[in-house]
Amino acid sequence: MPAPRQVFIAVIGVGGVGKCFLSQLSKLASRQSQDPSHPTYLSLILVSRSNKLLFSESYRPLSLSTWEADLDASKTPVLDPLAIAEYLSTAPEKVVVVDNTSSQDVAENYPIFLKKGISIVTPNKKAFSGTYDLWQDIFAVANNGQGTGGYVFHESSVGAGLPVISTLRELVETGDEVRRIEGVFSGTMSFLFNSFMPVGGGGGKFSEEVKKAKDLGYTEPDPRDDLNGLDVARKLTILARIAGLETQSPTSFPVQSLIPKELESCKSGDEFMQKLGQYDGDMEKLKKEAADEGKVVRFVGSIDVQKNDVKVGLEKFDVSHPIAALKGSDNIISFYTKRYGDNPLIIQGAGAGGDVTAMGVTGDLIKVLRLLR
């Protein structure tokens, strides 16, 4: 039996998702180490947050049980993504970077990591929904694209751990014709409207529900990125590109923002959160208008692949509609394709939260490990 192959793991970003990922990684590494026939074993060699970094100069594994205290205690100056790529490129075995940030800067350096043979798994949407040039650069070098570099997987960038990206890729790669994709693509928006405007009436104040969504770990680091519709627009940009459209950016199609005009100039997310309650009346008005028609309002998105038409915003739904009946942070995504005809392939379940998002990331890591064997 050949000796198991060591694979080095570098984790950038240890917030809500990053912490859950490290806990899943620890269990995965322990399961692999107890199985002598397993072809790989995992060694953590770098972990970082925005203002802290810990790495192993000698590539000896860092502890997967004390990483948090070790990172807190670290006096090592933070490195920019280029310097991290430089350090990782000299590692004696294959490396997988796990980007659990929402950083544009880290995302824009993916082609450099990939060119150096370093693989990437990530829930970060920024690279795949940034410029179309960046999208092309990434898949021109990636080994699971047209190149010979590292592998890149980003299942959790749409629908958290739900198998949305892998399903769409399989529909496309097996030759189905994807005609329309539609649904609820935001865990935060789903939670907000399900709890602020539930079927049957009642519900809390909109601003208080936003605070709850943030505390539950559903929102982006700055909740304005959810409320301005851009997080959903990023997800639709990613899906549209996989479906074959050359969608240029998340702002190249109509996106409805829920940020009150007067709060567009807020300097920080904290200032925004403090003032949002002053505008609860606007949302109550929206709720009443829909209720008077026997409907509820939900935040949805759609891609008409045939017409190259993408849009994001509020729509009213009959209370009997499956979108009206969603619970918690659930996403629902319907793929209308030639094969599936009038009855779409539907994926539904939690679309935000640390553990379910980390599951998609850990699942992607397992896919990379199989390819690296």
Ligand X SMILES: NC(=O)C1=CN([C@@H]2O[C@H](COP(=O)(O)OP(=O)(O)OC[C@H]3O[C@@H](n4cnc5c(N)ncnc54)[C@H](OP(=O)(O)O)[C@@H]3O)[C@@H](O)[C@H]2O)C=CC1
Which positions are catalytic? 235
Q: Which two tokens stand for residue 248?
A: 């240029």
The answer on whether 101 is annotated among ligand-binding residues is yes
From residue 136, alpha-carbon distances to 128, 173, 250 in Å are 9, 18, 16
Query: Residues 129-168 vs Na ion: string with x where CB under 5 A?
Result: --------------------------x---x--x-x----
Residue 119 in the binding site for ligand X (CB under 6 A)? no
Residue 99 in the binding site for ligand LTNE7NMQ (CB under 6 A)? no
Number of residues this chain uses to bind ligand LTNE7NMQ (CB under 6 A): 11
Residue 217 in the binding site for Na ion (CB under 5 A)? no
Residue 337 in the binding site for ligand LTNE7NMQ (CB under 6 A)? no
107 in Cβ contact with 124 (< 8 Å): yes
Judged by CB under 6 A, which stretch of 14-22, 177-185, 239-247, 310-318 contacts ligand X?
A: 14-22
Query: Residues 347-366 vs ligand LTNE7NMQ: string with x where CB under 6 A?
Result: ----xx--------------
User: What is the Cα–Cα distance from 216 to 297, expressed in whole angstroms?
Assistant: 22
Instruction: List binders of ligand LTNE7NMQ among 152-211 (CB under 6 A).
Output: 160, 186-188
Closest CA to 44 of 103, 106, 88: 88
Residue 218 in the binding site for ligand LTNE7NMQ (CB under 6 A)? yes
Element holding 234 (H helix, E strand): helix 230-242
> Is residue 46 classed as helix, strand or coil in its secondary structure?
strand
Comparing CB distances to ligand LTNE7NMQ, the nearer of 7 and 352 is 352
The interaxial angle of helices 269-276 and 206-215, nearest 10 deg, is 140
Number of residues this chain uses to bind Na ion (CB under 5 A): 5
Q: Please state the closest distance from residue 266 (CB atom) to ligand X, in A.
A: 18
From residue 59, alpha-carbon distances to 94, 149, 159, 172, 182 in Å are 12, 21, 34, 40, 45
Instruction: Could you list the residues known to form a binding site, using ranges.
Output: 13-18, 101, 125, 220
